[in-house]
A = this chain, B = another copy of it.
Amino acid sequence: MLLLLLSLFLIVGINGSVLDNRVDDLWSDECSLPPGLRKEILSYQPVVEKIIRKVVGGDFKGETWQSLGKFVDKFGPRMAGSQSLEDAIDYMVGELANAGLHAYTEEANVTNWKRGYESATMLSPRKADLPILGLGSSVGTMRGGIMGEVVAVESFDELDALPDEAVKGKIVVYAPPWVSYGNTVQYRSHGATRAAKKGASAALVRSVTPFSLSTLHTGYQDYEDGVRKIPVASVTVEDAMRLLRMYRRNETIRIHLEMNDVDKGVAKSRNTIGELQGRKENSSVVVVSGHLDSWDVGVGAMDDGGGAFIAWHAVKFLKALGLQPRRTIRAILWTGEEQGYWGARSYQANHSQTEKDEFNFFIESDIGTFTPTGMDFSGTKEAECIFREILQLLAPLNATQFASPVDGGPDISVWTDRGFPGASLLNKNEKYFWFHHSNADTMLVEDPDALDKCTAIFAAMSYVIADLSIEIPKNIKF
């Protein structure tokens, strides 16, 4: 009997549906939607199934992947401040217009940090190149570089326990274990400042990934006001662990570090927009979005080419299917996300006078477009009940999982943090951080069938929300 229960548990664990249904039963007891609204939502099942059929198995099958492949092969990486990003934006405006959408851009400020020549060499106890990748916003070293002895630690606590004179003028190497992104990324975000407070001359941080094939991962880092800015770069997990081993053997490790990175202030970029006009004049807007910019390594096929492309293909395919919802669906391809969602913040500032009435719902994908499992949701309890009911329409894709956001989609969090309702794609992204912000972020990460399913979800969810007789409730805090 125990064995039988174990087997049942395994089966449920594998396809998830039994478990989902049980959870669904629990929430539906808590939600008391007006029967009319429940019936209305249920009436969308046929159109949702049509969308899924066309996108996953019909005329549009494979198109999202093909289109994304052509795009990243053409433009490569698209860092804020680069010509490549602006060229990609010009191209996308054309693509959105070709799809019959109302296509335009809105200006946004973005940061303009430039990676220069970066090099690190271990000089003693033996000579070896140490591949590095500067972290976004890092200052450079002096010209010709700096020489420093290594202090290697596993944690901030270990660093703080050292006397200042043991750290002064040294290069701090952080070799923390992987715990989770949210935990381990603290060393990337704050490692330079914490080391500078102890008098260090530079910091090298273990790449933030659970698995490495000698892979460098960049990402944004934050200097604290009033603390000296020191150069900071990522090293591979392999090198961080090696330096820690050697340091703990009391070997004296000397590194030459040169970084010519420079912050050039603010540049102009654009958010790229493609609209499917609603039937209703001056309707509120359902936003469906991802960011077009990427880091300057890899080609940003995953982060966030996939998210941006399922967003705009959702709207493209609705248009092609002749589906015009009550409200306008606005695909927004954000700019300058990677170094602090500059595009979304500019967009919010430009729309601050109108946003309360302008926006009905925000949808985003920025944590992978692997096989989708459902969506996470931010908003009031009442809105949640409506959203959960709509989410059930995705049963044909086995993607009805509901969650509350843990990290939150950074771009739409500009609104959801203030009480606007919004949702992000959930997907089987267990390996997301293997590729994140590295040269491994390429088309090989993206699967055509998974992308089709993601696009179908964005099309179906945005259509139903945009067509519903009622607005999704908000509770806006200003």
Chain A residues within CB distance 8 Å of chain B: 3-4, 6-7, 10, 69-70, 73-76, 125-126, 128, 131, 212-215, 237-238, 241-242, 245-246, 249, 298, 434-435, 438-440, 442-444
Contact = CB atoms under 8 A, between A and B. Distances in A.
B438 A69 contact: no
A442 B73 contact: no
Contact of A76 (B3, B128, B214): B128
Residue among A125, A214, A438 with most chain B CB within 10 A: A214
Residue among A238, A434, A443 with most chain B CB within 10 A: A238
A6 B14 CA distance: 15
22 contacts: A4-B7, A7-B7, A10-B10, A69-B245, A70-B249, A73-B245, A73-B246, A74-B125, A74-B126, A75-B126, A76-B126, A76-B128, A131-B439, A213-B213, A214-B215, A214-B439, A214-B440, A215-B215, A237-B444, A238-B440, A238-B444, A242-B442
A443 B213 contact: no
B443 A241 contact: yes
A442 B435 CA distance: 19
Nearest to A70: B249
Contacts of A214: 215, 298, 438-440, 442
Q: Which 6 A-B pairs have the closest CB atoms?
A: A214-B439, A213-B440, A238-B442, A213-B213, A214-B440, A213-B215
Q: What secondary structure prevails in chain A residues at the interface with B? A: helix
Residue among A4, A128, A442 with most chain B CB within 10 A: A442
Contacts of A443: 238, 241-242, 245
A442 B239 CA distance: 9
Given A69-B245, A213-B439, 8 more contacts: A3-B7, A6-B7, A74-B126, A213-B215, A214-B439, A242-B442, A242-B443, A245-B443
A424 to B, nearest CB: 25
Nearest to A131: B439
Contact of A212 (B126, B246, B444): B444
Residue among A7, A73, A128 with most chain B CB within 10 A: A73
Contacts of A439: 131, 213-214, 238
A298 B6 CA distance: 43
Contacts of A126: 74-76
A306 to B, nearest CB: 15
Contacts of A444: 212, 237-238, 241
A128 B439 CA distance: 13
Contacts of A237: 444
A210 B73 CA distance: 22
